[in-house]
Amino acid sequence: MSATKSTARHGLRAWQVSALEAMRTWDSGPFLISAAPGAGKTRPSIEIANRMLKARLIDRVAIVCPTTPLTRQWALAAGRLGLNLQPDSNELIPPRDFHGVAVTYAKISMVAAKWGAQCTGRTLVIADEAHHLGEELAWGEGFALAFRNAARWLLLSGTPFRSDTTPIPGVRYDAEGVAVADIAYTYADAVRDGVCRPVTFIPYDGTLQWRSGDDVIEAGFDTVLSSREASRRYRTAISAELADGLPRILAAAHAKLLEARAAGHRDAGGLVVAADSDHARKIAKLLKDVSGRSPTVVLHTESGAHRKLQAFTDARDEWIVAVNMVSEGVDIPRLRVGVYASAARTPLIFRQVVGRFVRTIAGRPAEMSWLFLPADGVLRRHAADVEGELRHVLRRRESDEELFEEREPRRETEKSEAAEFQVISADVAPTSQMSLFGGPSVVQPHVPTPPPAILAEFTPAASAETDAAHGEPTSRLSAFERRTILRDKRHRLVGDLGRRDRRPHAEINAWLNGAVGVARVEDATLDQLEESIDLLLDALAGKAPARR
């Protein structure tokens, strides 16, 4: 049997097995895993937590994420592998049915002192997308305070650097200020292994014309301009108001999407990253004109934004337009075509956008994705850096000011800009392609055979199907899902009994809690919740008294 097939049979990729092997001797301090989006950073993290719980090296696990939806994704993924996490927990110490908690960096920053008092050296801390932390920022300071007593920090990131160059807590840097990962699995590695899709960048260029004060400037991206005029050239390129500019690129991108669908990927999707809410709505109208269908529009200011993202993920719709909603936690594997029309040109944001198009789908080959973008020099350097694996230096050099510029250009509606800058015309088209990692033909490399002892220890039979603490088979649902279902059912039955007997809910809850031996329903285990439900059903059927 080949090494690749052997690894797949055990549910672990070769690089994940290597990461687990490297963590065998890890007994304290931070451990950084830098792996490309879609490569599977979650799996070895859950496996090492299971191993440490089983060996009684730790008492609990704390997962910390950028967003609330990510805490639930972690809880679901971990629950499938026997690690039960309570998402969005208010306490570091989990309920009795759980092995740990999953919370956001924002929550940690608000309860840092309280959690710091609860945290011991036997807490395993896993920081997902650790580049969100900063030593001098609220999230980084709160994280460091809350988990200062933990013996181990497992840091995960596909982009272990920050555009503001702030050091990430727990990350080691070399003499030049470059982050040093304990395990690194790059985009190139993932594409060669067939774990991630290759990406082809399609820059578009041509003649762009805009008014700057009293002057009318006409230039393409190959013309050397001052930084101010280069910024205005870029804004002209992403303007939704010039018929032969961005609308022409959207039409080309839609044709590429239809090509992917016709080639067999029938639910392939497209994503446009817009500059702001107004820009997104204009792009949506242009896409409707091109495709005949209204795209999904997701804005970071909307309360239901993540629900709309999930609905698009599960649908067959062609296009989605998003603003500030395409970084961590956005997992839409069917995305194959993108248009980069964001005002931000930082390396971090660029790489996060690229990461939306590299995820593969089980049962399908690692097919090519395409990303259309202005032929702007900064973006082209980012694209080249992705291929060569960007090494981010903390100490900013003067020549890098444009590369690391994070501030977005001021909006066209600002008074100071309105009289000075105005887009006039564009005549652009896709230019030569930049194919990442050798184009669409993915070479399958020789993968070293993982150590048999490691494979045996982390097979699904040993961990994915077994409860980490008790060695009992897990259900198909995670503990937090089962808890949610039981709590909802208990609540409905309390309502039914209250309406029948005309009794307040508080009285019925007090009876139930006393009967099963808890002070509050929040403290009830899964077994105690099931016992409560049985008591309610018996009371409603007249088989038992419904009072203490």
Give the domains, in start order, of the chain with CATH numbers: 3-191+449-464 (3.40.50.300), 197-438 (3.40.50.300), 479-540 (no CATH)
The answer to whether 98 and 86 are in contact (CB under 8 A) is yes
Residue 11 has pLDDT above 70, yes or no: yes
Whole-number pLDDT of residue 176: 67
By CB atoms closer than 10 A (0-12, 13-18, 19+), residue 87 is buried
Q: Which regions of 355-451 does DSSP assign to beta strands (E)?
A: 369-374, 421-430, 434-435
Instruction: Name the pLDDT band for 408 (thresholds 50, 70, 90).
Output: very low
Evaluate if residue 397 carries a pLDDT over 80.
no
Distance of CA 304 to the CA centre of its chain: 17
**154-176: pLDDT as tens digits:** 999 877 666 556 777 777 877 76
Residues in the chain, overall count: 548
64/466: higher pLDDT? 64
pLDDT tens-place string over residues 253-282: 999 999 999 999 999 999 999 999 999 999
Mean pLDDT of the chain: 80
Task: Give the pairing type, strands 60-65 and 179-180.
Answer: unpaired
Q: Virtual CA dihedral for 192, 194, 197, 202, nearest 10 degrees?
A: 30
Taking residue 243's Cβ as centre, other Cβ atoms within 10 Å add up to 11
The answer to whether 427 and 248 have CB atoms below 8 angstroms apart is no
**Nearest-5° angle of CA 271, CA 401, CA 414?**
65
Q: Which residues pair with 185 in a beta bridge?
A: 35
Categorize the per-residue pLDDT at 435 as very low, low, confident or very high, splitting at 50, 70 and 90. low
Q: Do 169 and 135 contact (CB within 8 A), yes or no?
A: yes
pTM of this structure: 0.70
Query: Do the beta carbons of residue 199 and residue 73 sit within 8 Å?
Result: no
Distance separating alpha carbons of residues 95 and 239, to the nearest angstrom = 52
The residue to which tokens 């599977």 are assigned: 40
Across the range 242-262, mean pLDDT stands at 94
Four-residue CA torsion sign, 109, 112, 114, 115: positive
Number of continuous H segments (helices) and E segments (strands) in the chain: 19, 18
* pLDDT tens-digit readout, 165-216: 677 777 787 776 677 889 988 888 888 888 888 888 899 999 999 999 888 9
| pLDDT of amino acid 458 | 40
Scanning the structure block, which residue is given the tokens 């800058």?
Answer: 421
